[in-house]
Amino acid sequence: MSVPRGVLLLLLVLLFGFTLVNCKKELTLSERVQQLSDAGLKKPVLRFNGDKFRQYVKGTPRNYSMIVMHAHDEFQLVANSWRYSQGYSNKLFFALVDFDEGPDVFQQLRLNSAPVFMHFPAKGKPKKVDTLDIQRVGFAAESIARWVAERTDIQAFTFAMTSGQMWNHIRGPPFLQKTQAGNIAYIHGSSQGQFIVETYIVAMLNAAVVLGMILMTEAANKRDDVRKRRIYAIIGLGLVAFFFSLSLSIFRSKAHGYPYSFLLK
Ligand SMILES: *[C@@H]1O[C@H](CO)[C@@H](O)[C@H](O)[C@H]1NC(C)=O
Within 10 A of 93 (CB to CB), how many other CB atoms are there?
Answer: 25
> What pLDDT, on a 0 to 100 scale, did the predictor assign at position 80?
82
**Average pLDDT of the chain to the nearest whole number:** 83
- The residue whose C-alpha atom lies closest to atom 4 belonging to ligand 1 is 30
The Cα 45–Cα 220 span in angstroms is: 51
Atom of ligand 1 nearest to the CA of 30: 4
From the CA of 199, how far away is ligand 1's center (Å)? 39
- Contact predicate 82/44, CB 8 Å: yes
Within 10 A of 220 (CB to CB), how many other CB atoms are there?
Answer: 10
Kindly tell me if the per-residue pLDDT of 234 is higher than 90: yes
Cβ of 170 less than 6 Å from ligand 1: no
Cβ of 34 less than 6 Å from ligand 1: no
pLDDT, tens digit (0-9, with 9 covering 90-100), for 145-182: 889 988 998 876 655 555 577 677 767 788 999 888 88
The percent of residues above 90 in pLDDT, for the chain, comes to 28
CA angle, 249 as apex, 244 and 252 as ends, to 5°?
Answer: 130
> What pLDDT, on a 0 to 100 scale, did the predictor assign at position 116?
82
The Cα 82–Cα 69 span in angstroms is: 16
pLDDT, tens digit (0-9, with 9 covering 90-100), for 67-118: 888 666 778 888 888 888 888 899 999 998 877 777 788 777 776 666 788 8
From the CA of 63, how far away is ligand 1's center (Å)? 6
Q: pTM for the whole thing?
A: 0.53
Upstream peptide bond of 61 is cis (omega within 30 degrees of 0): yes
The two beta strands, 65-69 and 177-178, are: unpaired
The Cα 70–Cα 139 span in angstroms is: 13
C-alpha closest to that of 261 among 210, 211, 212, 250: 250
Kindly tell me if the per-residue pLDDT of 247 is higher than 70: yes
> What pLDDT, on a 0 to 100 scale, did the predictor assign at position 242?
97
From the CA of 254, how far away is ligand 1's center (Å)? 46
> What pLDDT, on a 0 to 100 scale, did the predictor assign at position 31?
92
- Contact predicate 170/234, CB 8 Å: no
Atom of ligand 1 nearest to the CA of 89: 13
- The residue whose C-alpha atom lies closest to atom 13 belonging to ligand 1 is 91
pLDDT, tens digit (0-9, with 9 covering 90-100), for 38-73: 998 888 889 888 888 888 998 888 999 988 886 667
Cβ of 33 less than 6 Å from ligand 1: yes
In Å, how far are 2, 25, 125, 157 from 147, measured between CA atoms?
A: 64, 34, 17, 11
C-alpha closest to that of 253 among 167, 188, 163: 188
Atom of ligand 1 nearest to the CA of 34: 7
